Copies of this chain bind each other. A is one copy, B any other.
Amino acid sequence: MINKLIEKIRKTNAPIVVGLDPMLGYIPEHIKEKAFREYGETLEGAAEAVWQYNKGIVDAVYDLIPAVKPQIAMYEQFGIPGLQAYKKTIDYCKEKDLVVIGDIKRGDIGSTSAAYAVGHLGKVQVGSRKWAGFDEDFATVNPYLGSDGVKPFIEVCKEENKGLFILVKTSNPSSGEFQDRIIEGRPLYEWVGEKVAQWGEEHMGNGYSYIGAVVGATYPEMGKILRKIMPKTFILVPGYGAQGGKGADLVHFFNEDGLGAIVNSSRGIIAAYKQEAYASYGELNYADASRKAVEDMIADISGALENK
């Protein structure tokens, strides 16, 4: 799957991923009104609005981008109907041949991580048959529990030709509270990064491992160091746009081959129509605003990479 991701990045010339993290507040009124008319102001109504909103965005941008990253929390907040919209979104994006990164940040003790891995990336045995629960292509994983919490995910990736992005240095303001603490002269996130590189070495695609890392765009200096510690690790970079990261800050997340990183933007793309720069599209044309925001993001990052 890492090979497919890289091939699609090359084809689109866009090392970016659109974060499908729908909040009801982002969704245009006409979509919500229609959904609520049909299902009421219920979890089902919210889930229908989320799904229609996502579909509009995916239809408008799928030819420009290699991948999407739905954040499962934004669906889970609407309970079972929300998770049905999550699954519907995954399936639709896969129909459009997009690589789907499930931003699930799961991680637990071994047997429990195995259940998550099977549910999200693999197939579960039921009697004599096997079924895929969610079937994302990649999943994000939390490393706090150590190797035996991560390895069951790696096993499933190996069997199913899928991949991971493991949290190393997250984009949020307080990520340093534990991640930056110094252990034998180096911050915890470097130790985690080193471990991710080790886990990845035995699980290689063409040039890059299918065991990737998450490093926030908001910490470009740390990204530069982590790039060196994990030379064959693909880095998922959240925090571009709304969280403050800019193209010029991101060049050191990439290798000399122009690859090695994929930058996520969520709100900046999916709610572009709410920004001054794209306000002229209007609420009704929210998806066109998203397409323009994707084009601008590609230009920003490609430009920065060319001037590297």
Question: A residues touching B (Cβ–Cβ < 8 Å)?
Answer: 21, 23-24, 32, 36, 41-43, 45-46, 71, 73-74, 76-80, 82-84, 87, 105-113, 115-116, 118-120, 124-129, 131-134, 142-149, 167, 170-179, 181-184, 188, 191-192, 195
Candidates B74, B131, B143, B184; contact of A144 at CB < 8 Å: B143
**Cβ contacts under 8 Å, A46 to chain B:** 124, 126
| Pair B174/A147 contact, Cβ less than 8 Å | yes
Contacts known (A42-B129, A124-B78, A172-B109); A195 close to B181, Cβ less than 8 A = no
State the Cβ distance, A200 to closest chain B Cβ, in Å. 16
Candidates B32, B41, B71, B174; contact of A146 at CB < 8 Å: B174
Candidates B78, B87, B110, B146; contact of A133 at CB < 8 Å: B78
How distant is the Cα of A74 from the Cα of B22 in the complex, in angstroms? 26
Candidates B79, B106, B142, B184; contact of A131 at CB < 8 Å: B79
How distant is the Cα of A71 from the Cα of B109 in the complex, in angstroms? 11
**Cβ contacts under 8 Å, A74 to chain B:** 112, 115
Closest residue of chain B to A238 (Cβ to Cβ) is B109
**Cβ contacts under 8 Å, A133 to chain B:** 43, 76-80, 82
How distant is the Cα of A127 from the Cα of B43 in the complex, in angstroms? 10
| Pair B126/A43 contact, Cβ less than 8 Å | yes
State the Cβ distance, A154 to closest chain B Cβ, in Å. 13
How distant is the Cα of A299 from the Cα of B112 in the complex, in angstroms? 28
| Pair B83/A24 contact, Cβ less than 8 Å | no
Candidates B110, B116, B146; contact of A178 at CB < 8 Å: B146
State the Cβ distance, A223 to closest chain B Cβ, in Å. 17
| Pair B77/A126 contact, Cβ less than 8 Å | no
Candidates B83, B106, B191; contact of A105 at CB < 8 Å: B106
How distant is the Cα of A282 from the Cα of B42 in the complex, in angstroms? 45
**A–B pairs, 21, beta carbons within 8 Å:** A23-B115, A36-B126, A41-B128, A43-B126, A71-B115, A73-B106, A74-B112, A76-B120, A77-B118, A77-B119, A79-B134, A82-B119, A105-B108, A109-B171, A143-B144, A144-B170, A146-B178, A146-B179, A148-B172, A181-B183, A181-B191
